[in-house]
Structure 1
């Protein structure tokens, strides 16, 4: 998936032939071919000419509006694509309690398992992670046995709580991270996690729309106006991959305290413009990695689309199981003791 990020405040996005130009103060900052472009994300005060908007709509290129800090505002999309029959089936499946529970169970277990894989990679240097791993194994077992969505969500909350407490042990205490907190993020780690999850969600929305599914009709949570439920469910198994990227950037010093603005009472901790550019560059490189999954080498970004396609196939033919992407694929040196996280 080819994505354009525009972060320069006051910039203008305009079309010139088969190119999108990013301009500011009569200077051209970037030239991006329209060919194969699928998603444009605008951060903050960025302007788009009306002819450019028309081109994006005509070519099915989605435009996502974010604040300068990376919070989601909304999106501009063209005409709906895909089969109405598939959307009807999606709605029917969401009302089928047994089917919805089993699919939701797959989402939750994929997330919990991949959280465990991330911690397993750090176990040699941090033996005290064993208690969190035990909690994740217990959460996986509880999720397998849950007889309803309430029990399943409780299992997810129990496992993820232990996971984020353990994640704090892997990061410098100076970062002030003690667990997952949002709205506003109180520390650099939470700020990066929130931004990463937002970017991942927007890609999931595009993937679901591309295969003809409604991103708002999910299986794990109750319907809520404005909530992109299915997109949030689709990214569950990929969230630990975002965590792994954040962990690497902070531990390796690619992002430091200097790349974050002072805390704001209403907005919390946010990246500086330079920090945002660094994160987006690392983000694109991370998702360009070629992964080996089920005997196939492909860029990591493609597996989100593959999961959307898999979900569409399951809704058409429910006998096919929903298989999650193992986090081990992100590393060549796969942890040998991940087999008990099943």
Structure 2
């Protein structure tokens, strides 16, 4: 089993990363702020525009430590991971598998997404019984239930995407009602992605990006090509397969964001609002989210398929391994992540 180490988040925009023997060094204005042995590092996520030294990048490549560069606003820029290794026959099998089984994979993925979203809503209803009689919430639960049935009988990727869009619209139309703490100063009206136009969308997009990066690294680790997906269309520079597998885990991100809001961990001072209307997490806000995200990754939960207790941070690697087994024909069906 892969050991859960540390993801190093570099949030200061003026930080520069370099190599010192077997240590990762972070400097700001020439002063060393952090020194950490490579043996304690699993991945690096850098929000700095200054970047890092070529020597450090070479060291990370040799140790299979991915470096992800993200803009201070949370937009993915680039990744340094080195050459794609692993079994070349696995990647050939991946392409062949997607050509013949793309619809089945997309059906199962979206059905799992809708089922998990229903569980997220039901958990809120359990915590706040007064919402059980809300007409809009009950209607959304029905839309999601119908979505599970409809997506399993769909005969094209386009139809599946259409069903997903309808379910997403219904879900996000009641998302604001899941923010149950009346003291929260933010409100959610509609999902805006590129760019986010309010605080809640800013946090959602930020954490979605973090999870997608982790899935992309996990897929590369097991030898799969993270850029060739079965549901998301191929696009230069986008890890489409990572985006596909994240779909079944989006509910985890959304529950995480709802917890940050309902516990009032995030406030108005944690965001930066642009004249254009765009809203981003500022450095303070990013640190708060990243600290809680790292804590969540250490939480141990039972994997619904393996029936083993695993740290949440290892789930991308576990699911990627299961997906690789499916591609190789070792298991008949890829077991999607399902909340119970």
TM-score, normalised on structure 2? 0.91
Post-superposition offset of 1:17: 2.4
Show structure 1 runs of 4+ deviating over 4 A. none
1:243 — aligned with what?
254
Cα distance in 1, alignment partners of residues 69 and 303 from structure 2: 33
* More divergent stretch after superposition (19-28 vs 63-72): 19-28
Cα distance in 1, alignment partners of residues 290 and 145 from structure 2: 33
Unaligned ranges ≥5, structure 1: 329-342
Cα distance in 2, alignment partners of residues 111 and 277 from structure 1: 28
2:224 — aligned with what?
213
1:35 — aligned with what?
39
Question: Residue 252 and residue 125 in structure 1: after superposition, are their counterparts in 2 closer, same or farther (change >3 A)?
Answer: farther
1:143 — aligned with what?
151
8 Å Cα contact 1:8-1:46 kept in structure 2? no
1:277 pairs with 2:287: yes
Cα distance in 2, alignment partners of residues 147 and 204 from structure 1: 27
Q: Secondary structure at the match of 2:43?
A: strand
Instruction: State the number of aligned residues.
Output: 325
* More divergent stretch after superposition (169-178 vs 181-190): 169-178
8 Å Cα contact 2:15-2:28 kept in structure 1? yes
8 Å Cα contact 1:44-1:69 kept in structure 2? no
Post-superposition offset of 1:61: 1.2
8 Å Cα contact 1:18-1:33 kept in structure 2? yes
8 Å Cα contact 1:19-1:34 kept in structure 2? yes
1:192 — aligned with what?
203
1:289 pairs with 2:299: yes
* More divergent stretch after superposition (167-176 vs 11-20): 167-176
1:300 pairs with 2:312: yes
Q: Deviations over 1:237-286 (max 9, x none)?
A: 111100011101011110011211123417x1011211111110011111
Post-superposition offset of 1:166: 1.5
2:124 — aligned with what?
122
Question: Residue 226 and residue 15 in structure 1: after superposition, are their counterparts in 2 closer, same or farther (change >3 A)?
Answer: closer
TM-score, normalised on structure 1? 0.90
RMSD (CA atoms): 1.7
1:94 pairs with 2:98: yes
Correspondences of 1:1-342 after superposition (within 5 Å): 1=4, 2-96=6-100, 99-123=101-125, 124-127=129-132, 128=134, 129-171=137-179, 174-265=185-276, 268-294=278-304, 295-317=307-329, 320-328=332-340
* More divergent stretch after superposition (291-300 vs 170-179): 170-179
Q: Secondary structure at the match of 2:293?
A: helix
Post-superposition offset of 1:318: 6.8
Unaligned ranges ≥5, structure 2: none
8 Å Cα contact 1:186-1:263 kept in structure 2? no
Question: Residue 261 and residue 222 in structure 1: after superposition, are their counterparts in 2 closer, same or farther (change >3 A)?
Answer: closer
8 Å Cα contact 1:260-1:272 kept in structure 2? yes
8 Å Cα contact 2:102-2:231 kept in structure 1? yes
8 Å Cα contact 1:208-1:214 kept in structure 2? yes
